[in-house]
Structures are given as C-alpha cells and as structure tokens.
Amino acid sequence: MALVPSSAPVNESPVITEVDMGGDDSTPTVRATVVQASTVFYDTPATLDKAERLLAEAAGYGSQLVVFPEAFVGGYPRGSNFGVAIGNRTAKGKEEFRKYHAAAITVPGPEVDRLASMAGKYKVFLVMGVIEKEGYTLYCTVLFFDSQGCYLGKHRKIMPTALERIIWGFGDGSTIPVFDTPIGKIGAAICWENKMPLLRTAMYAKGIEIYCAPTADSRDLWQASMTHIALEGGCFVLSANQFCRRKDYPPPPEYIFSGTEEELTPDSVVCAGGSVIISPSGTILAGPNYDGEALISADLDIGDIARAKFDFDVVGHYARPEVLSLIVRDHPANPVTFTSASAKTEVSDKS
C-alpha cells in the first residue's frame, strides 16, 4: 500500500488515505480517485474553483479518472423541504428554489466548457455530478469528460428519491450512456438509482466496466449495495459522496435544516461521506472514508473484470433470454413536438 495525502479544508490537517497498488504486468491498471468534499453552496464559481484544486491534487497523484459526488456543482439541498406541504408552497420556499435554480448550470454552457478545460489541462477522465437546468426545470445530472478535454455526454437521474421529486425533473432513456474510453467502459447511476435492478441491467448490457455511483447516501447500508453491484456486474464500482458539516451550508434563516436545525452546531456532520472503491470480486480497494474531506484512490487492475466474469456474467453466460428479457426505451421523451413550417404551409394551402 502507498500512502497518499488527501485534500482537506483550509486550516485543517490533511487526511491520509490508502491507494491499492495491486495488479500485475499482464493487464493494464488505471489509477482512479473518488472525491469526498462539499459544495460551496449557492456559489457555483467558487465550487468550480474548488473542483479544480481537487482535480489538480488528484492528477498530481497520477490519477487517470476522477469521480465527484452527486450534485457537487449546484449543491445537494440536504435537510430542506422548500416550504412544501400537500396543497401549499410558501413564499420562502419559492425564493429558496429561485436561488437554487440560479446556482444550477446549463448543458452545454460556460461551466461545462470550464470543466472540459480542466479535464484536458490535467489529462484526466472526469465524472462530475451537477445540477442541470433546462429552462426552469432542474435535473440531477452526471457529466462525462475525456482526458483530451472533450465533453462526452451526460446521464440524468431518471428517478429522484422522495422530496427530490419536487425540485428535480425525471431523466429518460436517452441519457443512460456507457462510454467506451481508452481506460475502460465508463457509466454512472446516481444514488438510489443504483437500487433499480432494471437500470443496472441496461448498463451491464452496454458493457460497463467502471461503474460510477455518485451519491448522497452515507449510511452503512450503502456499502452493501455497492459491493453487490460490483459482484453482480463484474465491474469496478466507484462511489463518491460529499462530506458536509452544517457550516458548509448557508446559516439560518437563509437555509434551514427542517426539523433538526435547533439540534445542530456549525461543526455538526450532516453527511458523513463513506466514499469507496470496490473491485469486481467485491474486494474493497479504498475506503469507505467517514473522517472528512478526502481524495480516495486505488489502482484498478483491469484484468479483474475478466476474472470476475469467468464466475458470473450477468448478461452473458448467466443470462436466460428465452426466459427473462428487458426492453429499454432509449429515445428522448419530449412533451411537445412541433411540425415543420413547410408542413404547416402545405396543410394551409390545401384548405
């Protein structure tokens, strides 16, 4: 094991995380890092600055792939209810949504261009959790970039969990990509999407090898889900979560943790992280980390994928398509479709 100093908040001692140096000369290895750090809430430019600092640090350790948490750019509004009750929305909650919307980014857009530039500058494949806005609807999205600084595409969370549904729209089958890159086939599912077996099956069918799982779930139970997916898919699983204290969010009354605010101090941990990297055999290569902000890294022996698939290939020799099958509708689901101007003119002329 090699010891690599992690990122830490300013004026705090750096955390040390372990990097697995496994693998052998017969198969390639990929050094991967999952980032465990908090958003600068309501301040997207400052969040991008922080992301670049962390990316530079990971690249300095030789990382080829860096995965950031769910909603890192734009923020995960933990503890907020946006003033919503059945049949009612408060004025304060609407203003809270306006500020949250203002912190979101458009895709494509200047923030995407900057992230692409970062990936190219530091020569890393980058997987970044963002809050995306299309008009006035927000989406919890993951963006993918290659090491040449090219934007590859995005995945929109197809099923927001619980109260997330009041602030985020639903993705569709057109944004469930798996990208074939020089370091492996990379895709992502966000937080509790990972509990959806049919979504996982679709990703396995696309040949995913490095399965990214940005999340907001820091419970011990999350580790069981990540280990299961690694074993089920015969893939590496990289789960990145934010580590947040109350002071990482705006103070009250600007931002309220509903129902618990009076119990919190500025140093209270509101999300404990738990970021982890797991091999296709279910071996934990790095993490889970619950100690603070950190860069959690491991060397991925790509040969482990074939070794695991020899035992169990969920969409290969272990599939029974004559008994069980899945249809995935991978086209965009548009609410409005416009006919062309020429078609309208043609109809008008005939009448």
Q: Which residues are catalytic?
A: 70
Alpha carbon distances (Å) from 131 to 235, 332, 344: 27, 19, 37
- 71 neighbors 39 (Cβ within 8 angstroms): yes
Alpha carbon distances (Å) from 196 to 65, 162, 185, 252: 25, 15, 20, 36
Sequence-ordered alpha helix ranges (H) in the chain: 44-60, 91-103, 110-122, 197-205, 220-233, 303-311, 341-350
In 3D space, the residue among 336, 40, 305 whose CA is nearest the CA of residue 184 turns out to be: 305
In 3D space, the residue among 275, 254, 299 whose CA is nearest the CA of residue 37 turns out to be: 275
Angle at 217 between CA 212 and CA 221, to 5 degrees: 95
In 3D space, the residue among 247, 273, 215 whose CA is nearest the CA of residue 40 turns out to be: 247
- 209 neighbors 185 (Cβ within 8 angstroms): yes
- As to burial, measured by CB atoms within 10 angstroms (0-12 exposed, 13-18 middle, 19+ buried), residue 345 is exposed
* Rounded-to-integer distance, Cα 265 and Cα 244, Å: 12
Q: CB atoms < 10 A from the CB of 5, how many?
A: 15
Cis peptide before 288, with omega less than 30 degrees from 0?
Answer: yes
